[in-house]
């Protein structure tokens, strides 16, 4: 596609439920990133993929959070046993290769998750 | 650990005037990148300007320019001839060149309003 696409745009769920958020990066971009943006804050890094593998997952807050990118394109962020504190906008970004080389991330419009 | 501080939660500027947004950062590294991102209500983060720390010359992109003071660890953004479309959240961000290739560290942002 022309840009980074994220679905759903908005998701409301109940505490304890399982949630999946999808990211479709720009075609040909090998690097994919997930960030979380809480209300009134800047985005915080969660995980970075280079191809199919997670090159850095140091930002995942706990083992309830998991992300995959099985074919090196679309990625899914999975959150188990959601908590109210997980409510945030989840941003996905991609770049042609590593950020150090390209200097630019292309962001999607995010998925707003609300946990009741 | 690196940190990014934006001390102005909100700023306002008259259309066609100039405004400067402040950013300071803390790092012990010598090689890094600094960025300014714009986030309109659509939530999509858009790169405004980028600066490599090894470059002494301040980056410019049309109406946008930076004042990069490496010794002072300061990276301010100047917007000239402000337009209504410049109204948005602006985030300063840091990337360590030698570290995680996805771990952009963002400030909390400055909300810019443009008055007609």
Compute the distance between CA of residue B8 and CA of residue A82 in angstroms, rounded to an integer.
33
**A109, B42: Cβ pair inside 8 Å?**
yes
Q: Do B102 and A103 touch (CB under 8 A)?
A: no
Assign 3-class secondary structure to B32-87.
EEEEEEEECCCCCCEEEEEEECCCCCCCEECCEEEEEECCCCEEEEEECCCCHHHC
Judged against a pLDDT cut of 60, whether residue B25 lies above it is answered with yes
Option in A40, A56, A105 nearest B100 (CB): A56
Asked whether the beta carbons of residue B43 and residue A91 sit closer than 8 angstroms, the reply is yes
Give contacts of A30 with chain B, Cβ < 8 Å.
none
pLDDT band at A69 (very low <50, low <70, confident <90, very high): very high
- Share of residues in chain A with pLDDT > 70 (%): 97
pLDDT in tens, A89-110: 999 999 987 776 677 889 999 9
What would the pLDDT profile of A8-32 be if each residue is shown by its tens digit? 999 999 999 999 999 999 999 999 9
């Amino acid at each position: 596609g022309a840009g980074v696409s994220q679905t759903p745009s908005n998701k409301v769920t109940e505490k304890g439920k399982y949630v999946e958020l999808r990211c479709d990066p720009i075609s040909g971009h090998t690097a994919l990133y997930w960030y979380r943006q809480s209300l009134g804050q800047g985005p915080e890094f969660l995980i970075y993929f280079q191809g199919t593998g997670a090159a850095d997952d140091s930002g995942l807050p706990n083992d309830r959070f998991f992300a995959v990118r099985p074919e090196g394109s679309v990625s899914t962020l999975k959150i188990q046993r959601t908590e109210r504190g997980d409510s945030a906008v989840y941003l996905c970004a991609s770049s042609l290769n590593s950020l150090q080389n390209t200097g630019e991330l292309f962001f999607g419009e995010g998925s707003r998750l609300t946990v009741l | 650990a690196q940190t990014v501080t934006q001390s102005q939660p909100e700023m306002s500027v008259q259309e066609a005037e100039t405004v400067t947004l402040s950013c300071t950062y803390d790092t012990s590294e010598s090689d890094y990148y600094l960025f300014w991102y714009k986030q309109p209500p659509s939530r999509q983060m858009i790169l405004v300007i980028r600066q490599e720390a090894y470059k002494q010359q301040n980056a410019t992109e049309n109406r946008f320019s930076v004042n990069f003071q490496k010794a002072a660890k300061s990276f301010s953004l100047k917007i000239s001839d402000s337009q209504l479309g410049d109204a948005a959240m602006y985030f300063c961000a840091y990337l360590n060149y030698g570290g995680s290739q996805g771990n952009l560290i963002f400030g909390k942002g400055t909300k810019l309003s443009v008055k007609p």
